[in-house]
Amino acid sequence: MVKRKRLLILGGTGEAADLAAKAGTISGVEVITSLAGRTRQAAISSTPGRIGGFGGVAGLREYLQEQEIDYLIDATHPFAAQISGNAAQAADDCNIPRLMLLRPAWEMIPGDNWIEVKSNEAAARVLPSLARRIFLTIGRQELANYAHLKNLWFLMRMIEPPLPDTPVPPGKLLLEKGAFSLESERSLLGEYDIGAIVSKNSGGDATYGKIIAARELGLPVVMVQRPLMPNGEKVTDVETALSWLKNRLLV
């Protein structure tokens, strides 16, 4: 019997889940999805796979070898730079073909009032000059960068609550997971009298409603730019990632 080819998908995004479901239907392919395990949803995921860090580049290299992985698709979030760098190094070391699936970044269009910054630290520096009531949609990991801004009020939206002992700025936590409609984002901004938004340039449709709502209301958006990703083949959608995989299977 011919051994099935093993595809490791580094996940944590909607695209990764979609890719896993579709790649799993290709004959001769066995899919393993890896999740960092940051959310409770990960713990109950029904996708065949594994959960938790590998232990840096060395741990990932060991995993790739032990599990006899044939292909690696890094479909992690555009801001998950650490795992993408580790994946690049480990896959190169093991001579395993690797693809990055990265959804396109949002582009500023007429009517947008974006202040583009390189980091959350830089975002925190510009906020006091913009507004007093801020919608902070950067997740829970970077909250501490804003904790010193005691004169501002923050509406902070994230999937899971901040870890204990994380310094949190004054305001209210909203524990919610997208997608968020334009209508609900519009009414949220009005309900909380928001004067500015902080967002990562995550791209995709699921969280774009707040950007449209900000444009409609003339609100500034402090947009945290994406971190640099490693070199290597990149595609922007699931179908092209599947074509890449199918082409590899033909070789």
Residues forming the site for ligand NAP (CB under 6 A): 10-13, 34-36, 38, 53-56, 59-60, 76-77, 79-83, 86, 139, 200
Residue 141 CB, nearest approach to ligand NAP (Å): 6
- List, in order, residues 6 or more apart from 236 with CB less than 8 Å away: 101, 102, 103, 104
- Of 59 and 128, CB closest to ligand NAP: 59
- Of 42 and 217, CB closest to ligand NAP: 42
Residue 242 CB, nearest approach to ligand NAP (Å): 19
- Of 41 and 187, CB closest to ligand NAP: 41
Distance CA 218, CA 112 (A): 7
- Of 47 and 86, CB closest to ligand NAP: 86
Residue 10 CB, nearest approach to ligand NAP (Å): 4
Q: Which long-range contacts (CB under 8 A, 24 or more apart) does 187-194 make?
A: 188/135, 188/155, 189/135, 189/213, 189/214, 189/217, 189/219, 190/217, 192/133, 192/135, 192/155, 193/133, 194/131, 194/133, 194/134, 194/135, 194/155, 194/219
Residue 76 CB, nearest approach to ligand NAP (Å): 3
Residue 144 CB, nearest approach to ligand NAP (Å): 14
- Burial of 25 from C-beta contacts in 10 A (0-12 / 13-18 / 19+): exposed
- Of 48 and 53, CB closest to ligand NAP: 53
Distance CA 119, CA 93 (A): 30
* Among the listed residues 199, 176, 188, 178, the one whose alpha carbon sits nearest the alpha carbon of residue 112: 199
